[in-house]
A and B are shown apart, each in its own frame.
Chain A
Amino acid sequence: MTKAKRNRLIYNIVTYALVIAAFLILQSMIANKTITRSLKGQLVPICCWIVMAVSLNLVIGISGELSLGHAGFMSIGAYTGAVVSGWLLNAFAVENTLLRLVLAIIAGGVMAGILGALIGIPVLRLRGDYLAIVTLAFGEIIRSLVNVLYIGVSDGRLRFSFLTKDMPEGTVMLVDGAKGAVKIKPISTFTVGFVLILITLFVVLNLINSRAGCAIKATRDNRIAAESMGIPVTKYKMIAFTTAAALAGMAGALYGLNSSTVVPTQFTFNQSINVLVFVVLGGLGNVLGSVISATLLTVLPEVLRAFSDYRMLAYAIVLILVMIFTNNPLIRSFVNRLFSPIKRLFRKNKQGGDIA
């Protein structure tokens, strides 16, 4: 086994082990009732944000494209999840919450994935800044459209209407325009969230280390050279983008079914930026980093009230400083020199390693 391969294997094992260990510890804390109330309420959202961060990292870190509409895919998932769950309950009387949750998450993932593919076809032909602004535009379009979307169930079938609320008497509303998805029965569980994280890690890590992942990274590093090697660039960007969209949809479904309402304002551009901060702070291309930073930055505002007030300010500064520190050649060489004695110390028994 080569050195690079061994490092990658260790990195993957550490990632999985850390997530599983955290789950086991939290489960035992729940069993012992030593967990605080606010932390317990945060468990499912943490799972959602981890999935969001890891999937966005696939687009930004691995495929090298800045997508600013990730929250849009999350909202698609949340709405689809809420509708599917409500439909199953009202039309088919499916009482089993786990079955409803799993079906809702799958539906959310499929919906967001399809939309991701549809958006990706035109968008991924664009480059750099244009792609960023168009994904932002799509995110905003999705938000505007769900704002005037009405979905209800009556007589066992789904009814859709657009712009105006045009529903027969006695319809149970599932999505009510600007009020969002209403009267959701919260059915999300931490265990399902944990399984979703494992699935996400499995998909993303295996994708990165496969033939397709290599091609995606090559496209990021040098588009023309990748094409000259016979790599169909757009196809591989599509794979990364669609996979990320589907995962965001699944996270959205889990997130939506964790509360009683979902409103369009929960999935604004700001939310996309939040996830971007998780990815940037965790390190572009670093999956484990995304998991850790998503967890910390979701828990921190709950624990530290003072931090919660200045959260967005701190995020803004984080974005700027991380970018300058990792991209300015002068600062980078300075930092490298600063850390080189420490690195030499670790060289003998180096653990992990960057996968990107």
Chain B
Amino acid sequence: MIFLDNLINGLSLGSIYAIIALGYTMVYGIAKMLNFAHGDVIMVGAYVAFCGLQYWGLPPVVAILASMAICTVLGITIEGLAYRPLRQAASLAVLITAIGMSYLLQNVALMIWGANPKSFPPTFINSTTFRLGQLRVSSATVITILANIVIMVSLTLFTAKTKMGKAMRCVSEDRGAAELMGINVNRTISVTFAIGSALAAIAGVLLCSSYPILQPTTGSMPGIKAFTAAVFGGIGSIPGAMLGGVLLGVIEIFGKAYISTELGDAIVFAVLIVVLLVKPTGLLGKPVREKV
């Protein structure tokens, strides 16, 4: 029974990682950069939803939509102001900029909302608990897992069927060729950031529904772990992000339950290191050959 309990918790946490990992994997696949600030967009999303619920008295659905809208704008702004000027620069410079952006978001959040942790108000997401015999499953868990599946399916359809999705795949394969074919690369990258950031807002709300403590650093650790998940699954691959995220969540919960609570994070990172050494392209990633 404890095993099943842990498994469900792991799936739920893993689903959150998977949704965050999608943002990383899409941006990495298309803009070829590690958007270190992605985790902090989650935090902003959670804070906006918190304000909507607590201060503005919005209904939960509207609060979530508002949070998604603001995060989308934020994502596009970050990309346009900080990353676009560095499109041709070395990856070292882009990564340092992204780290700077992550810190900027955290500190702006610190100035606006203060350092004291806020407790995220309960919504329809975590309203009830289902009972299956002895097993108790909170509605947050169910909704998180369902949201993950819905997002995954719709994103896969989006990239496969729509014009913008096809443009994204083109830019990811060969930016230069895509440009020559008349695809607006800058706009495609902006849309990628917009989608990733909107997903980050959802992830933020889901994260805080399961773990209702909100502070400016809330996003950074899940962000780093979700990147780990994206790498685990194979960076650039949407099903990979889902697989990596879910596996990592399960590994983390089981590690905490059966090995040591203190070493939960260490286990997650050890997984990352082992994966990168054994199969650097991740579980579902494609190998990339450097052109000489």
Contacts and interface: CB of A to CB of B under 8 A. Distances in A.
Interface size class of B (residues with CB under 8 A): 35 or more
Contacts of B137: none
A276 B108 contact: no
Interface stretch (A165-173, A180-188, A323-331): A323-331
B101 A320 contact: yes
Contact of B266 (A64, A129, A136, A145): A145
A312 B103 contact: yes
Interface string B213-231: 0000000100010011001
A142 B231 CA distance: 21
A344 B86 CA distance: 29
Given A133-B224, A134-B272, A329 B88 contact: yes
Interface string B99-126: 1111110111011000000000000000
A137 B273 contact: yes
Contacts of B90: 327
A148 B111 contact: no
Given A224-B292, A320-B101, A134 B262 contact: no
Given A132-B95, A145-B266, A318 B100 contact: yes
A144 interface: yes
Chain A CB count within 10 A is highest, among B92, B95, B269, B272, for: B92
Interface string A299-323: 0000000000010110111111001
A60 interface: yes
A146 B85 CA distance: 41
B73 interface: no
B82 interface: yes
Interface residues of A, number: 47
B277 A122 contact: yes
Contacts of B34: 129, 132-133
Question: Max chain B CB contacts within 10 Å: which of A276, A323, A326?
Answer: A323
A148 B95 contact: no
B92 A144 contact: no
A273 B90 CA distance: 19
Contacts of A140: 224, 265-266, 269
B257 interface: no
Contacts of B266: 140-141, 144-145
Contacts of A324: 82, 85-86, 97
B101 A316 contact: yes
A148 B262 contact: yes
Given A140-B269, A317-B100, A327-B93, A224 B290 contact: yes
Contacts of A280: 96
A313 B85 contact: no
Contacts of B224: 133, 136-137, 140
A133 B263 CA distance: 18
A298 interface: no
A88 B250 CA distance: 45
A276 B86 CA distance: 19
Contacts of A123: 273
A320 to B, nearest CB: 4
B270 interface: yes
A346 B73 CA distance: 46
B260 A327 contact: no
B89 interface: yes
B107 A144 contact: no
A317 B111 CA distance: 15
B276 interface: yes
A136 B99 CA distance: 12
Given A129-B28, A323-B97, A324-B86, 4 more contacts: A60-B92, A122-B276, A273-B99, A323-B96
Interface of B: 28, 33-34, 82, 85-86, 88-97, 99-104, 106-108, 110-111, 220, 224, 227-228, 231, 260, 262-263, 265-266, 269-270, 272-273, 276-277, 280, 290, 292
24 contacts: A64-B92, A123-B273, A129-B95, A130-B280, A133-B34, A134-B272, A137-B228, A138-B269, A140-B266, A141-B265, A144-B266, A148-B263, A273-B99, A276-B96, A315-B103, A316-B102, A316-B107, A319-B100, A320-B100, A323-B86, A323-B89, A324-B97, A329-B88, A330-B85
Give me the 7 closest cross-chain CB pairs, A-B, nearest first.
A319-B100, A316-B103, A137-B269, A144-B266, A327-B89, A316-B104, A320-B100
